[in-house]
A and B are shown apart, each in its own frame.
Chain A
Amino acid sequence: MSTFSPPTAPGSNRVRIVVATSVMLTFISYWRAAAIVLNDLASSAYYACGIAEQAVGKSAPWFIVGVMLFSFTVRAVYVESCSMFVRGGVYRVVKEALGGTLAKLSVSALMFDYVLTGPISAVSAGQYIVGLVNEVIVTADAHGWIPGAIHNIFHGTPQFDVNWTSVVLALAVTIYYWWENIKGIHESSEKALWVMQITTVMVVILLGWSGFTLFKSGFQRVPLPTPANLHFSKESLGFLYHRFPGQSLPQMFGVLGILIAFGHSVLAMSGEESLAQVNRELAHPKLKNLKRTAIVIALYSFIFTGVSALLSVMLIPDAVRVPVYKDNLIAGLAMYMWGPQLLRLLFRGFVVVVGFLILSGAVNTAIIGSNGVLNRVSEDGVLADWFRLPHRKYGTSYRIINLIVGLQVFTILASRGNVYSLGEAYAFGVIWSFAFKGLAMLVLRFKYKGERGWKVPINFHIGGYEIPFGMASVTMVLLAVALMNLFTKSVATVTGIAFSVVFFVIFTLSEVANKKKTALSDRHMNDQFQLLQRDTVDRQSLGIHRGNILVPVRDYNTLTHLHWTLEKIDTLEQDVVVMSARISRFGAAAYDLAPEQIFSDYEQTLFTRATAVAESFGKTVSLLVVPAGDVWTAIVQTANNLESSAVVAGVSSKMTTQEQAFNLGRAWEALAEPKRQFVFQVVHPDSEVDTFRIGPHSPSMKDEDVLLLHRLWLNITREPGLEKLHHHEILTEALTRFAHDYGARDREDILKELRRVSAEDSGGPRPEAMNPPPGPVVRRESDDGPPAGRSN
């Protein structure tokens, strides 16, 4: 046996690791990107106007419309930042422009925003559900359908306590998504698109029916947004109420009243940050598609949030709008349409179902987004690595998820189901993260003179200097609103500042501790590993031959498949590449990572274990780390680039081997040409192996099928003129006839028969039988070992 010889740097005994710096992603269209952002942004339509009207009075819808128009300009700021940085989120931009301290502060505000997005969305969804259930009970009672005994128990019509029941429902939704995120179940852009399609159907019905109702029943006027029409509550004036008790500030200061009202409506445009997060996954041409995404989300949210806010005040009578429907305004709108009550109630049910889908989607987006942001700052050394340690079974950053969801659960309980308080606090996080962002982008106009893909318009040139008038204007509005909100939202200011300070302190202390630790681990890493940075992965950079074996590794406790591969393979004949995919999912508000960030402490431990396994066999392995959007894309792209003949993986804790092959097959189908087929082998802990072929290939035939084919050939070649017929010609004719029958009248019969055969074959329906893989994946061929063969 040869001695262990990992690839080493010339003149040293350090292990060489190739770190790819270009992220392997599956790209999405701008429609899907818009759907992901709108799942967050459009959900605010369900609660924004109700909160604003409680704060400023009946003219609130005009302020919501104003905020939605203003959101077009905030969106422009995000487009400019994304044209400069692939992930132009708050943290990156502020750090670049204003330095680490303000970046930490801005991330703290963003975290406050994210932590509150979940509770406000979940509680709001609860309010809509409980409101509907109570309304149905009241309607049933009016028809005498509630038994007298139940009446007696409840001393009248039974009703759920709206706020506390909403709290219970909100907790259930939050805990559900906590568990999904712990397991690492990735919500697809398809689901987001589907939710937005259903939402669009609802919005079209809502607008159409409302228009008809306006025509049939008339409407009430929405007071213009003038100081005289503003009616601030005690809560909505915050500290100013105590400073000027009993005085009418709008009348005293005029424009100041408009500013206060604008500040109470600003939460209608929450969710813009998601735009920066999906940017990286947008398909080519990226900037154009980013602009299209931004236009779609701005128009959609303007129509949905802005117009529905106006309609709610125009159609719902004053007597019930705030007292009854303040927390479920769109449901109230459904109930005041022109038409029979049953139809209105059914539509309200539809509104609630859509609301639940979109609002619960926002809960998930909040967890994913905040997990991504904290992972990002952790990668930057601003949060202790302890938070980022992967879950033993699922490999997710469960400590960060636990922290976020813990804070969200606390917030839900502390709010006691009060959407108004949640909304007021939420606005603090929203406006301050925007204000930091705007300020940072403005500073970057002077600090970074290089080319940008796009600029916020209205830029003057005076004496060779560019004056960014448009950018400065947007920033001034954001800062004015953020500063005003400090005075008018007392609870939000206190809780927001306390929260931000606590996070800021955690970030600062973590950074100090990490600097010391990093110095030590850097020394340790420099002794053991040498990182070779490469833009893309290819055979030359790893110094390997075609036909190699790719072994993806994730958990250093489960390296059975690496053991199995090294047992079977002579690495002098066939190269083995051990690969770790560094997943950077949607939500990681970051952009390209430095090699040291891609190759973190965790990867160090993982590769130390992998090289120890190779050492125990005395064999050579090549080591590779690739950043990726999802693990399947990373594996197939790497296998394709390296011209691997096989991929050997361990069994997933989340899915069956068939599902693993299905996902790999799907990623392979999405791969651009030219692409190569390869064998995918999944090694069980007991060293049993399932083998699949990825890509089109000759199927493995059963003995009886070969015999049948041969018998047919014997019979047919006895016929005159067919003596020279080949076996494959019989197969061609049979398949042509099969294809014809499948495309014509016998499709259902064929499918029925195939299902029967498939079930008999596997002793029960297999996942691919129930859900056919898009790629031609064939199960279990040979367990002898990875396919051999080296070619240059």
Chain B
Amino acid sequence: MDFLFTLLARFLEAMFVIGLLGSLGVLLVSFVEDAETLFDMEDSSHS
């Protein structure tokens, strides 16, 4: 039982760490795109 729990825990940890690293990449790449989108105000629709 302990072995199964440890296995599950390590699996979740691995998912979490890899996922966080990948998400950090997504965050950095989308920051650049976000800045472009946000400051390109040519056809914005304020009201």
- A30-B44, A243-B5, A295-B34 given; A480·B15 CB < 8 A: yes
Q: Is A556 among interface residues, defined by CB-CB distance under 8 A?
A: no
A292–B34 Cα distance when bound, in Å, is 8
Q: Is A477 among interface residues, defined by CB-CB distance under 8 A?
A: yes
A314–B39 Cα distance when bound, in Å, is 33
Contact with A along B12-37 (1 / 0, CB 8 A): 11011111111101110111011001
Q: Closest CB-CB distance, B8 to chain A, in whole Å?
A: 8
Residues of A within 8 A of B29 (CB): 457-458, 470
Indicate which residue in B20, B22, B34 contacts A291 across the interface (CB closer than 8 Å): B34
Q: Closest CB-CB distance, A116 to chain B, in whole Å?
A: 24
Q: Closest CB-CB distance, B19 to chain A, in whole Å?
A: 3
Indicate which residue in A262, A284, A469 contacts B45 across the interface (CB closer than 8 Å): A284
Q: Quick check: which of A251-259, A317-325, A349-357 contacts chain B, the rest being far away?
A: A251-259
Q: Is the CB of A476 within 8 A of B15?
A: yes
Indicate which residue in B22, B27, B33, B34 contacts A476 across the interface (CB closer than 8 Å): B22
Indicate which residue in A76, A256, A476 contacts B30 across the interface (CB closer than 8 Å): A76
Interface centre among B20, B23, B27, B38, by most chain A C-beta atoms within 10 angstroms, is: B23
A715–B26 Cα distance when bound, in Å, is 81
Residues of B within 8 A of A477 (CB): 15-16, 19-20, 23
Q: Is B7 among interface residues, defined by CB-CB distance under 8 A?
A: no
Q: Closest CB-CB distance, B29 to chain A, in whole Å?
A: 4
Residues of B within 8 A of A289 (CB): 44-45
Indicate which residue in A28, A285, A292, A473 contacts B23 across the interface (CB closer than 8 Å): A473
Q: Is the CB of A469 within 8 A of B22?
A: yes
Q: Is A400 among interface residues, defined by CB-CB distance under 8 A?
A: no
A72–B32 Cα distance when bound, in Å, is 13
Q: Is the CB of A72 within 8 A of B19?
A: no
- A70-B23, A292-B38, A474-B26 given; A457·B12 CB < 8 A: no
Q: Is the CB of B26 within 8 A of A259?
A: no
Residues of A within 8 A of B25 (CB): 457-458, 469-470, 473
Q: Is the CB of A480 within 8 A of B26?
A: no
- Residue on A with the closest CB to B29? A457
- A31-B46, A292-B37, A479-B15 given; A473·B21 CB < 8 A: yes
Q: Closest CB-CB distance, B26 to chain A, in whole Å?
A: 4
Q: Is A472 among interface residues, defined by CB-CB distance under 8 A?
A: yes
Residues of A within 8 A of B23 (CB): 70, 73, 470, 473-474, 477
Q: Closest CB-CB distance, B43 to chain A, in whole Å?
A: 6
Q: Is A437 among interface residues, defined by CB-CB distance under 8 A?
A: no
Q: Is A288 among interface residues, defined by CB-CB distance under 8 A?
A: yes
A480–B22 Cα distance when bound, in Å, is 14
Residues of A within 8 A of B5 (CB): 243
- A256-B9, A288-B37, A480-B15 given; A456·B45 CB < 8 A: no
- A285-B43, A470-B22, A473-B22 given; A73·B27 CB < 8 A: yes
Indicate which residue in A255, A259, A458 contacts B22 across the interface (CB closer than 8 Å): A458
Q: Is the CB of B16 within 8 A of A259?
A: yes
A29–B47 Cα distance when bound, in Å, is 6
A473–B15 Cα distance when bound, in Å, is 8
Residues of B within 8 A of A28 (CB): 47
Q: Closest CB-CB distance, A53 to chain B, in whole Å?
A: 21
Q: Closest CB-CB distance, A482 to chain B, in whole Å?
A: 10
Q: Is the CB of A476 within 8 A of B19?
A: yes
Q: Number of B residues whose C-beta is below 8 Å from A?
A: 28
Q: Closest CB-CB distance, A437 to chain B, in whole Å?
A: 15
A552–B30 Cα distance when bound, in Å, is 47
- Residue on A with the closest CB to B1? A243
- Residue on B with the closest CB to A294? B34
Contact with B along A238-265 (1 / 0, CB 8 A): 0000010000000001111011001000
Residues of B within 8 A of A458 (CB): 22, 25-26, 29
Residues of B within 8 A of A593 (CB): none
Q: Closest CB-CB distance, A459 to chain B, in whole Å?
A: 10
Q: Is A640 among interface residues, defined by CB-CB distance under 8 A?
A: no
- Residue on B with the closest CB to A257? B13
Q: Is the CB of B37 within 8 A of A457?
A: no
Indicate which residue in A29, A295, A472 contacts B46 across the interface (CB closer than 8 Å): A29
Q: Is the CB of A256 within 8 A of B12?
A: yes
Residues of B within 8 A of A72 (CB): 26-27, 30-31
A481–B46 Cα distance when bound, in Å, is 38
- Residue on B with the closest CB to A483? B12
Q: Is A58 among interface residues, defined by CB-CB distance under 8 A?
A: no
Q: Closest CB-CB distance, B35 to chain A, in whole Å?
A: 9
Q: Closest CB-CB distance, B20 to chain A, in whole Å?
A: 6
Residues of A within 8 A of B43 (CB): 285, 288
A474–B9 Cα distance when bound, in Å, is 19
Residues of B within 8 A of A288 (CB): 37, 43
Interface centre among A32, A69, A262, A292, by most chain B C-beta atoms within 10 angstroms, is: A292
- Residue on B with the closest CB to A479? B15
- Residue on A with the closest CB to B18? A476
- Residue on B with the closest CB to A32? B47
Q: Is A407 among interface residues, defined by CB-CB distance under 8 A?
A: no
Q: Is A283 among interface residues, defined by CB-CB distance under 8 A?
A: yes
Residues of A within 8 A of B19 (CB): 472-478, 480
A32–B2 Cα distance when bound, in Å, is 52
Q: Is the CB of B18 within 8 A of A473?
A: yes
Q: Is A214 among interface residues, defined by CB-CB distance under 8 A?
A: no
Residues of B within 8 A of A484 (CB): 12, 16
Q: Is the CB of B22 within 8 A of A474?
A: yes
Q: Which of A28-85 contact B (CB under 8 A)?
A: 28-32, 69-70, 72-73, 76
Q: Is the CB of A457 within 8 A of B26?
A: yes
Residues of B within 8 A of A256 (CB): 9, 12-13
Q: Closest CB-CB distance, A586 to chain B, in whole Å?
A: 17
Residues of A within 8 A of B46 (CB): 29, 31
Q: Is the CB of B12 within 8 A of A259?
A: yes
Residues of B within 8 A of A283 (CB): 45
Q: Is the CB of A457 within 8 A of B16?
A: no
Residues of B within 8 A of A254 (CB): 13
A40–B12 Cα distance when bound, in Å, is 30
Q: Closest CB-CB distance, B32 to chain A, in whole Å?
A: 9
Indicate which residue in B17, B21, B33 contacts A457 across the interface (CB closer than 8 Å): B33
Residues of B within 8 A of A456 (CB): 26
Interface centre among B21, B22, B31, by most chain A C-beta atoms within 10 angstroms, is: B22
Q: Closest CB-CB distance, A272 to chain B, in whole Å?
A: 15
Interface CB pairs A-B, < 8 A, 26 = A29-B45, A32-B47, A72-B26, A73-B23, A243-B5, A256-B13, A259-B12, A259-B13, A283-B45, A285-B43, A288-B37, A288-B43, A291-B34, A292-B37, A456-B26, A457-B25, A457-B29, A457-B33, A470-B26, A472-B22, A473-B19, A473-B21, A473-B26, A477-B20, A480-B13, A483-B12
Contacts A473-B18, A481-B16 known; 9 new A-B pairs at CB < 8 A? A29-B44, A72-B26, A72-B31, A256-B13, A295-B38, A470-B23, A473-B25, A480-B19, A484-B16
A-contacting residues of B (Cβ < 8 Å)? Answer: 5, 9, 12-13, 15-23, 25-27, 29-31, 33-34, 37-38, 43-47
Interchain residue pairs A-B with the least CB separation, the first 9: A473-B22, A476-B19, A477-B19, A480-B15, A457-B29, A480-B16, A470-B26, A255-B13, A476-B15
B-contacting residues of A (Cβ < 8 Å)? Answer: 28-32, 69-70, 72-73, 76, 243, 253-256, 258-259, 262, 283-285, 288-289, 291-292, 295, 456-458, 469-470, 472-481, 483-484
